Amino acid sequence: MTHSTETPEVPIRPYEVTAPEVVPGDLFALTPGEAARHRWHVVIHTLPESPEVIRVTLRPPLGGVDHEVVLRREQRVTVGGRRLDEAAIPLVSSPPLDGVEFRDGDRLHTLRAVDPHAREVTYVRRWGAWQRDGGPAESRVSDDDVRRWAAGADRAGDLVRHEPRPVRAAEAAGARRVVVTGLGAVTPLGVGTGELWDGLLEGRHGIRELAGEEFDGLPVRIAGTVPVDPAGLLPRPAARRMNRAAQFAVLAAREAWADAGYADGGTRESGLDPERVGVSLGAILGDASVLVGGDRRLRDRGPRGVPPLTTPMTVPSQAASQVSLDLHITGEARTVTSACASGTEAIGQAVDRIRFGRVDVALAGGAEAVVTPAIMASFAAMRALAGGDPAAGSPSHPFARDRDGFVNGEGAGVLVLESEEHARARGARVYCEAAGWGLSADAHHVAAPDPTGDGIALALRRAVRDAGGLLDDVVHVNAHATATVDGDLAEARALRTVLGGREVPVTALKGHLGHLQGAAGGVEAVAAVLTLHHGVMPPTVGCAELDDAIGLDVVRGAPRALPDTGDLLLSNSFGFGGHNAVLALRRVA
């Protein structure tokens, strides 16, 4: 139902004629007033009924139903100075919609068929109401309005067509829905998801002064550090074989495993086939201190002073391997290294491994421990670190006018992911659906983000598309927002572009936590899941005065209720070198 190709853009010049002068093809208006209101019909045929009367059959110029008028021969009418091919104008009626059950995703196409210059208008049904496609929020109408339009369309000279939401194409063999059933976290706010969530809602931060003498002389001596020694929470023999990042990962994985309802000890104690369970963790370096310490011992004591486990405790994959050892997981133990996007990409890869039947359950997230003198000095040399006194408030100011860099941090965040049928079969509590994810690369600079935000926008769109959703479904964004000047602007520009000006609330968590590097995506995914589960958006700490150039609805000051007009939450992670990863989570009833 579109504008007819048989009605070329020829100016309409109304003038009056008598009834006998009307011929088929004329653009016809009964009165000058109807012509002025762009209410025209096309003469389909004429029939003299008597010497005094002519019967004229009319049809809207863009298609519709016929109706007849009886004219006296001396009666004057208006024609448009333009003749159409009456045989090319479709005879069509708008079907009644009284018995139709509408669903979100349905479309309604309306056309004012009596106006030759009219264009089709489309409405999309989202969250129980119809909104004009591309129109303002106030353009929303109800189901009753739509049914009333359809009932009166023929009489009004309109065309109304209902297009049901298309049935999603059959998935590739083996594709399955993936859900989140367990959460675990070790962060600068404390050990456990309870400490994390309470700290986020209360607006606390975990950024501290670095007290060790190895940090003396550094230009920046603050970081988001875990407030307890993880080694003290693990059996001593096991802790001695793990680097600090692996210790974080094992603690978070144990919490997530128990939160998902599985038995202490791992797969065997839980009655699971260990070959059907996997691990997928992100890390940039894991624990940089092990390699630095080994090099120092080599210089101070010689080759015999280097511990034998230095190499296996140095590799970034140690966290994934230690989680698989601790819970006896043999399906796979993968490590993703893509700068600060590592944790989010690791979760996305686990989603796909479950979707396509490689495993049924996966622990996924990120772990990092890179608060070391060399890393801190390197970031400071790049002029990337924020300074400030943590006692006066968070030194990390995401999206703020006075932002001046990120705060380095450490920790781990782990999700338990399962195929939905696996989770439902055991009666598991489901937090949300891990609905999709998207990747892209900026191909712009070794460290700086692409200022256009085009790469970020691509990852955002891909995540929504992979989730089988629409951009209108996005209800909240957990932003990467490191508090660097250029990085925050690039992300904000991408979000404005993709969301099309919609006021979608955004939260940035690095004011609470600092930047946890490869663990950021895992921890922020845990927070995003809790946001969906509880229906509450944490505030953004450190953003006292929003930068006008950001142009986003940043949640600040206090928690805010999650809007009920959508079901997708996006969690963003972007890394040095142009790595972009976005996770799409969907709330479940």
Catalytic (active-site) positions: 340, 480, 515
Whole-angstrom Cα distance, residue 328 to residue 364? 15
30: closest CA among 38, 45, 40? 40
Q: Which residues lie below 8 Å from residue 336, measured CB to CB, with a gap of 6+?
A: 280, 281, 282, 283, 342, 343, 345, 346, 349
Give the three-class secondary structure for 587. Answer: coil
> Which residues of 157-274 form beta strands (DSSP E)?
159-163, 178-187, 190-191, 207-209, 222-224
Residue 485, by phi and psi: left (phi above 0), alpha (psi -120 to 50) or beta?
A: alpha
Do the Cβ atoms of 125 and 105 come closer than 8 Å? yes
- Tokens for 317, please give them: 């994959």
**Token pair recorded at residue 508:** 């940035």
Handedness of CA 314, 319, 323, 326 (dihedral sign): positive
564 CB-contact burial (10 Å; exposed 0-12 / middle 13-18 / buried 19+) = exposed
Summarize the chain as % helix, strand, coil (round to 5): 30, 30, 40
- DSSP at 447: S
Within 467-550, where are the H helices? Answer: 485-499, 510-513, 520-534
CA dihedral (218, 222, 223, 227) in degrees, to 10, reads: 120
In single-letter form, the type of residue at position 215 comes to F
CB 328 within 8 A of CB 266: yes
Q: Crossing angle for the helix pair 520-534 and 342-355, nearest 10 degrees?
A: 60
Tell me how far apart the alpha carbons of residues 41 and 26 are, in angstroms, rounded to a whole number: 8
- How is residue 456 written in tokens? 């970020």
